[in-house]
A = this chain, B = another copy of it.
Amino acid sequence: MNLSSFKEIALKYKVIFFDAYGVLRTHKGILPGVKEMLGFLAENDIAFYILTNDASRSPELLAKVYQEADIDEINEQKIISSGMLAREYIQNKVQKGRIVYLGTEASAHYIEHEGLNTVSIKDLDLDNCQDISALILLDDEGYDWNVDLNKTLNLLRKQAIPVIVANTDVTYPVTKKDVAISVGAVGNMLEVLARKTFIRFGKPDSQIFSFAYEYCTKEHAVTKNDILMVGDSLATDIIGGNKFGFDTCLVLTGNILPDNYDLMIQSLGIIPDYICESVAT
C-alpha cells in the first residue's frame, strides 16, 4: 500500500478519532506537527476526539499533558478513555457495597461516585470482605504485586463478584526500547488463576468505539461513514475501527515502523484504509 498525506485524507471526514500514544505523543513528548495539524482540522471544521486505553488518570489529567505543551485544542471533553467505560459499568450495575480497586488514588477517580465506597486492594482486610461487590483493575501502580495480587486472587476465591479490567493493553512503552507490564496482563493472569470471566474495556473491543460514537453523535450529526479512526497499532486501533465500521488510518510513528508495515499487514491480515507516515503529513 502507498503512503498518503494525512491532511488530504482528513478532509474527507467530519470527525477524527485519534489514538494517543504513538500517534499524538510518545515517551519523549508531543510529536512534531501535532499542534499545526489540529489547527488545520479546526480551520476545516473537522472535529476530533482521543480514544485511549488508559484508566490510570482522569480525562482532566490526561488532557493536562497536552495543555502543558501548549496544545489548548485538547481538553478533557476531547478525551474518551477506557476508564470512562468502567465508570459507566459501575454506575449502571453496582448499586451497593464496596468496590476494590487495583491502581493509584488518581485512577480511583473513575469509580468514585455517590453512595459507593471504594477501597484499594492494599488496604483491604480479607477477613472482612463480605460487602465487596466488585473488583476493578485500573493501573499497574499503587499496590505491591507480591502481596496484593495474592490478596486479589484469594478475594475472588471467596466472593462471586464481577471483575472489570479497565485497560486491555498488556504492555506500554516507557522508553525508546523498554516497556512496562500493563494492568491488562495482570488481569489475564488473574482471570486464568481464578477461573472467572472478566469484563474488559478498551480497544480493540467494540464497546469503546460504540461509546465514542454515541458520545460524538450528541455533538455532531454524523454517521459511521463520516468518522476516521487513526492509530499506530493494527491489533487494537485498526482492527477495532474496521470492525465497528469506521474507516481507518495507520500512522508509522509508534508501534509499527516505516520499513515493515507491509509485512505486518500481510502477516496479520488486518488492513487499514490508509497509511500515513505521521499525522503531520
Contacts and interface: CB of A to CB of B under 8 A. Distances in A.
Interface of A: 88-89, 92-93, 126, 140-141, 144-146, 149-150, 153-154, 156-158, 160-163, 170-171, 177-181, 185-186, 188-189, 192-197, 199, 205-207, 210, 224-225, 235, 239, 242-245, 265-271
A144 to B, nearest CB: 7
Number of copies: 4
Contact of A162 (B146, B158, B196, B242): B242
Contacts of A146: 140-141, 144-146
A179 B153 contact: yes
Contacts of A156: 269
27 contacts: A92-B224, A92-B245, A93-B245, A140-B146, A145-B145, A149-B181, A153-B179, A153-B181, A156-B269, A157-B178, A157-B179, A160-B266, A161-B271, A162-B242, A162-B269, A162-B271, A163-B269, A181-B193, A186-B189, A188-B189, A188-B192, A197-B239, A197-B269, A205-B205, A206-B206, A206-B207, A206-B210
A199 B234 CA distance: 13
A185 B189 contact: yes
Given A160-B267, A170-B192, A185-B193, 15 more contacts: A88-B245, A89-B242, A145-B145, A150-B181, A154-B179, A158-B177, A160-B266, A161-B269, A162-B270, A162-B271, A181-B189, A188-B192, A196-B269, A197-B268, A207-B244
A180 B189 CA distance: 13
A160 B224 contact: no
Contacts of A271: 160-162
A171 B184 CA distance: 20
Given A149-B181, A225-B92, A197 B160 contact: no
Nearest to A175: B154
